[in-house]
Chain A
Amino acid sequence: MHPALPIALALATALAAGGRLLLWQQSRTQDTGSVFALLLGESRRAFAAQVFLKADAYFHRGFYPSVFDLALPDGKTHMAKETESHNPHEHTQPQHPNRDWIETFGRNFYPSEHRHIERLGEAREILPWLRLAAELDPHRVDPYTVAAYWLRERLNKVNEAEAFLREGLRANPDSYEILGELGRLYAENQRDVPRARAVQELAIAKWIRQEASKPSPDVLAYAQILGQLAALEESTGNLDRALAHFTRLKRVSPAPDTVQKRIDELQAKLGQPR
């Protein structure tokens, strides 16, 4: 056998396999452009969760329970809770007393007091980790919504918040959370009522399609979007529509009495009998 033959055969096999691999790679359209996807593969999603927690640790100025300490009972980060409620969160989690002298001594050398970022501009420090979490796992929704909240509420960077939310929406076109946050941005920051209404209504439609049939749906997100939409309609004088949204909100709200008061006020404005 001519010695060139096996070499030619090996070359042909390599070319065929390479071509096949290239076609296979091109057929996988999602995420292949990211450096992290290339380097870490699917394991980057696990890193994304850690990086997101890192942002929460920055929110607490470095003080954060480790995996060996208590995990948050509801699985949500403090930073995300503040984003949801717009109020500084309460801490019911007791801090452990020191177990031994090494722990007592060690507390002098790392952040061991529960404090939040205080100064207005300090909020920007959590953003790199949220950005990285989104890069690592573009299908994780919370880095987009949390970062957008801090960008528009605390840093007055509305355009950047919108761009980041749109980036999130491209990766998660069915996310009612991102649409809800985008609607809030249009309503509160850009005062673009028609756009805000359209986006919020789309968010509600997406929520109903994805969550309504679930045994334990994400009612908090639904209530937030409904509340925002109702307030938007009320502020623009569409009292009928506001009333309809508040009525839907009452069914899922954790504080139905408060919602009922708003309904009563609206009905009084409309001059309708109760």
Chain B
Amino acid sequence: MSHHDDYVQAPGKLITPVTVVLALLVAFAFAVAGYRFVTSIGAVSNLNDGYPWGVWLAYDVSIGTAFACGGYALAIICYILNGWKYHPMIRSAVVASMFGYALAGTSVIIDIGRYWNVYNFFVPSQWQPNSIMFEVALCVMAYTCILIIEFLPAVLEKLATFKDGFFKSMALFVAPKLDKVLIFIIALGMTLPTMHQSSLGSLFIITGYKLHPLWQTNFLPLLFVSNALLMGLSIVQFEVGLSSAGFKRPYEYEALEIARFIPFVGAFWLAIRVISLVVGGKIGYLFTSGFHSAMFWIETALIVIPIVMFATKLTPRKAFFMAMMLCFGGGLYRMNVYLVGFNPGDEWNPYFPSVVEFMLTYGFIALEVLAYIILSRLLKLLPKAHAAGAH
């Protein structure tokens, strides 16, 4: 949109100790991914036929895309709830979302055993439209494209500042046209996460009894989509806090206003969670399932405490730490559904990720952070600083 003056580049050099460490992690992950492709998935991971989905799908896809819902949450606030004054924060959120989703897709390709068949996904005659997994894959791919388009204005702005030549004339030609159609892209971009985030939950309805009763419920799609919104809102808090502290910029106090949505979304999620347990007759499992009951209570505490704290008076520091806790709680909920509560049968147990699986996931996280830092320093992504309380 045409609020170009709202954004600035982050200060600082591209090569710093932090970016170097991140780059090393990324390089290691790429080496690991390369090793996986020349050997096999069994050579690097602890996956088996009972656990075809390990930490790569549980973290990179399920939790990673929920972290990447910052763009989704902000888009809802800006465009549906008409919170236009929060719009300056959206670019950085979209960048984080873009990398979250793109890496989720990449992770799936690494995780697929017969990755050479993946081209079939682009052949409509090979589609199986009744499949939940197909819906997730299509939505994730489409949403990644949409995030890239949403991010394009920042790139075009940069290209327009180049000296005369092809890039500048192209940028000047494309930018106004993109500006006109962008609102439709954004509308589509708000539909897609709603669809596939709920499908990420539906995927585990169809695992039936393999998922522990504490998590197995027909409310899973609703729980996952509201959990995505909750995690999207908290990752915005986390991002604003970390970029303010990391780039040594003044804190964006609008973020604290956005945080007031968290108790409402959180209460909604909790209500559905409680209803699903009561209606399903699962209350007995809250205390009787040993390890699983403990995981349930840790997850619930990590979500309830920050939700309550967000309803009280907020300071930037408090919002940052509570958001961190909520990210953990929301992430743990997804981890519990995808791995902890999932039991395909004793002959496949136990599954615990190998070091290589961890390193690849770490590398992906490092890549997201690294890309965020580099792009913020190259392009105008961050909201322009202004005196606190000036708005």
Tell me if chain B binds chain A.
Answer: no
Residues of A within 8 A of B (CB): none
